[in-house]
Amino acid sequence: MALDPVLQQLVDQLPSVPPGPVDYPTLRAQAAAMIPMIVGPGGRIDVASIEDRQIETRDAKVPLRIYRPSTEPTGTLHYIHGGGWAIGDLDTVDHTIRRLCRDLSMVVVASSYRLAPEHPFPAGFDDSLAAARWIAANRSSLGGDSLPAIIGGDSAGGNLATAICIAIRDEPQEGRPFDAQLLLYPAVDLDAGENDYPSRVRDADPTLRRASLTVCVADYAQGADTADPRLSPLKADDLSRLPRALTVVLSVDPLRDEAVAYAGRLRDAGVRSELLEFDHLTHGFVHFAGIIPAAAEATDEVVARLQALLANG
């Protein structure tokens, strides 16, 4: 399947990952260096305010960045960045969070986490869970108690968001911490082999090769049981009583089929679950909305579908 031609030009410029052990410091530096290019000629989108803060846990200081829209807030979004559990931070997704803050007119709280392989599972999960609990406890000072709260993320961030929803579902609390999930091309089956899903066998996404995915999972899990629902939400026995979900997938993405399976299992468990699929785009497309018109159009559709899911829930 041919990619969008403008996106293909960008993909052709991306540095290739050399064979052998992964040099994570170099990959992190490359990701940071790309940001000025992918922000786009329009520059960073203005929002009303941005506040950095930290949550202190027993094991770590979890960084948060709170974005407030210029218009009346319509709710709260907790966003967890991707990057294979090993790359990325609040700065690398800043341009994307600004767009979501503006377009959703929501207070967006972006959280980061300790990265693998230096900090393997459950560090990333624990940090993201601490952030989710803080956001749920502070809804009134964020987007408002009476307005929707969403948890979401892309790729590894989508993995963490799904796992968090399962983990906190049965915790004693008043009300539901989150009303919806926004799952952007999430990894939900870290227990899968390279040939368990047709989308992995095809290995058709030039931005996320099956071999790279396998390495990222191994460096994050580091010997943990990958069937643990905190690693593989698709392996959870019970997916009932979870927040309604919008799952976004790409036709070429090796993660496509497991995400489709997860959306189906949610639906079978009685959860309102919607699936949105795009052709001609790659893993990570939301971060290219400032320079790829097709990515901007797709991101607009994601926002519209999420708003409809909230309105009709």
Please write the tens of the pLDDT for every residue from 150-164: 999 999 999 999 999
Over range 261-272, report the average pLDDT. Answer: 98
Q: What is the reported pTM?
A: 0.96
CA distances, 165 to each of 32, 41, 129, 225 (Å): 30, 37, 9, 19
Neighbours of 41 (CB within 10 A): 6
User: Is 21 exposed, middle or buried (CB count within 10 Å of its CB: 0-12, 13-18, 19+)?
Assistant: exposed
For residue 232, the 8-state DSSP code is: -
Q: Is the pLDDT of residue 224 over 90?
A: yes
Please compute Rg for the chain using Cα positions: 18
Over range 75-80, report the average pLDDT. Answer: 98
- Which has the closest alpha carbon to 227: 239, 235, 219? 235
Q: Work out the pLDDT band at 312, boundaries 50, 70, 90.
A: confident
Question: Which among 111, 112, 155, 232 is annotated as catalytic?
Answer: 155
CA distances, 200 to each of 109, 175, 218, 255, 281 (Å): 32, 38, 16, 7, 16
Q: Is the pLDDT of residue 18 over 90?
A: no
pLDDT digit string (tens) for 32-70?
Answer: 999 999 999 999 999 999 999 999 999 999 999 999 999
Asked about 179 being catalytic, the answer comes back as no
Q: How far from each other are the two terminal CA atoms of the chain, in whole angstroms?
A: 35
Q: Is the pLDDT of residue 174 over 60?
A: no
pLDDT digit string (tens) for 228-237?
Answer: 999 999 999 9
The tokens for 76 are 């709260």
Compute the mean pLDDT over every residue in the chain, rounded to the nearest whole number.
Answer: 94
Q: Work out the pLDDT band at 13, boundaries 50, 70, 90.
A: confident
Asked about 283 being catalytic, the answer comes back as yes
Distance in angstroms (rounded) separating the CA atoms of residues 193 and 162: 20
Question: Which among 154, 189, 253, 257 is annotated as catalytic?
Answer: 253
Asked about 280 being catalytic, the answer comes back as no
Over range 108-113, report the average pLDDT. Answer: 98
**Three-state secondary-structure class, residue 298:** helix
pLDDT digit string (tens) for 273-308?
Answer: 999 999 999 999 999 999 999 999 999 999 999 999
Question: Which among 95, 119, 283, 287 is annotated as catalytic?
Answer: 283
Rounded to the nearest 5°, which phi and psi values hold at 177? Answer: -60, -40
